[in-house]
Amino acid sequence: MKITFLGTGAGIPSKERNVTSILLDLTQEKNKLWLFDCGEATQHQILHTSIKPRKINKIFITHLHGDHIFGLPGMLSSRSFLGGTEPLTVYGPKGIKQYIETSLEISQSHLSYPIHFVELETCGNVFEENDFIVDCVLLDHNIKSLGFRIKEKDKLGELNVRKLQELGIPPGPIYSKIKQQKQTVLEDGRVIDRNDVVGEPKKGRVISIFGDTRYIPKHASFINGSNVLIHEATFDASKLDLANSYFHCTTEQTAEFAKKGNVQTLILTHISSRYQQEDKDQLLQEAKCIFPDTMLAYDFFTYEVK
């Protein structure tokens, strides 16, 4: 499970940062890619990576501001040109369906695959699959904005091969059956209970990805225990009033939120174009003084969630 930042800027692109887009690489788990937001020129950013657009099967839009959606028509069309035929599902606030369909219709763009839309008018569970559960929460922005939590389900523990051999069960297809079934009846009539020969479950990983928002301490419970929190830090600590008036967060507010949510790692993104390369150390240190395990994302930064 890897996260690649295709764009880490806020509002408008700069020479150092494109606008927001985050890719969650689930190729090892599901052979799929999930995209969170799709700012202008996202498809251009993808050209500098090994990402295959046809493998993107889910797109999550946090909100409908242009720096989070203006890249969609081009990216969707490129997915078609590059051989994408499998269905794609877009999740986002009400209006995302109209925006995409209107853009494609007016430009007479014809896709080689169907798009399914899930407009999230209420918060809570977005969907549940065999391996993952995705939930969302409403944030505090000047347009409806969402935060997503992606939870990997716990996995079965390791099979205790030594114990099976002590029970006189030789290696073979029966080992797989024992691990997959709660109880297995052997040829000699013995019943093997999985819990007796499988170790402790491997806890699933949790990633929280928030859209634009003011500081909302009450949402600490939503992100609680996340392996990674990806959160905007549009302004430096001295711009508290400006952040509040524009419905954004400062570096210190985001760090306080991560601390309250008991997350393992915080990654700051959505950085205002007013900040240049020489400002990155200041922004990072403001957050690290409160939450030491903080990183500052940059375009094409990849983080592996372990």
- Give the dihedral of Cα atoms 227, 231, 236, 242; nearest 10 deg: -150
Q: What gap in Å lies between CA 234 and CA 240, rounded to an integer? A: 10
Q: What gap in Å lies between CA 253 and CA 25, rounded to an integer? A: 28
DSSP 230: E
Q: What are phi and psi of 284, to 5 degrees?
A: -65, -45
Q: What gap in Å lies between CA 196 and CA 132, rounded to an integer? A: 26
Question: CA–CA distance from 254 to each of 10, 55, 232, 290 (Å)?
Answer: 15, 32, 7, 9
Q: What is the 3-state secondary structure (H, E, C) of 175-244?
A: HHHHHHCCEEECCCCCEEEHHHHECCCECCCEEEEECCCCCCHHHHHHHCCCCEEEEECCECHHHHHHHH
Query: What's the Rg (C-alpha) of the chain?
Result: 22
Tokens of 268: 């700051």
- State the residue for tokens 């400002």: 279
Q: What gap in Å lies between CA 214 and CA 160, rounded to an integer? A: 49
Residues sharing a CB contact under 8 Å with residue 188, sequence separation 6 or more, in sequence order:
none
Q: What gap in Å lies between CA 285 and CA 256, rounded to an integer? A: 13
Q: What gap in Å lies between CA 31 and CA 9, rounded to an integer? A: 28
Q: What gap in Å lies between CA 39 and CA 6, rounded to an integer? A: 9
What's the farthest any 2 CA atoms get from each other in the chain?
Answer: 74
- Catalytic residue (choose from 37, 67, 212, 236): 67
Annotation marks residue 196 as catalytic: no
Both ends of the chain: CA-CA distance in Å? 8
Residues with active-site annotation: 67
